[in-house]
Amino acid sequence: MLFEGAEKRLEMVIDDASASLRGFTGEFWSSALAKAGAEILSTQTNADCDAYVLSESSLFVWHNKLLLITCGNTSLVDTTLHIVKSIGIDHIVWFSYQRKSELFPHLQATRFEEDIARLKQSIAGQAYRIGDLDSHHHYLFCSAPSAHSQYSCALQLYHIKGDVADYLCGPQQSKDTILSLLQLGVIWPEFTFDDYLFDPMGYSINGIHGREYITLHITPQQPSSYVSIETNMRAGHRLMDGLNSLITVFKPSSWDVVGINASLSHYEFMASQLLAQTHLVLNDTNTLYISHYKPRVSEPLTVVSL
The single residue among 63, 161, 211, 294 that binds its own copies, judged by CB under 8 A, is 294
Q: Are 294 and 253 in contact (CB under 8 A)?
A: yes
- For its own copies, the closer CB: 104 or 196: 104
The single residue among 18, 42, 44, 101 that binds its own copies, judged by CB under 8 A, is 101
E-state strands within 21-166: 40-45, 49-54, 57-62, 65-70, 92-100, 125-130, 138-143, 152-158
Site string for its own copies, 145-174 (x = CB under 8 A): -------------xx---------------
Q: Binding of its own copies at residue 306 (CB under 8 A)?
A: yes
- For its own copies, the closer CB: 177 or 253: 253
Torsion of CA 185, 58, 257, 200, to 10 degrees: 80
Find the helix or strand (DSSP H, E) in which 98 lies: strand 92-100
Q: Are 290 and 131 in contact (CB under 8 A)?
A: yes
- Name the β-bridge partners of 273: 294
Task: Please give the span between the terminal C-alpha atoms of the chain, in angstroms, as a whole number.
Answer: 15
Q: Binding of its own copies at residue 297 (CB under 8 A)?
A: no
The single residue among 35, 91, 129, 211 that binds its own copies, judged by CB under 8 A, is 129
Q: Binding of its own copies at residue 278 (CB under 8 A)?
A: yes
The single residue among 88, 90, 128, 163 that binds its own copies, judged by CB under 8 A, is 128
| 220 cis-preceded (ω within 30 degrees of 0) | no
Contact set with its own copies (CB under 8 A): 101, 103-106, 111-113, 116, 126-136, 139, 158-159, 223-224, 253, 274-278, 280, 290, 292, 294, 298-306
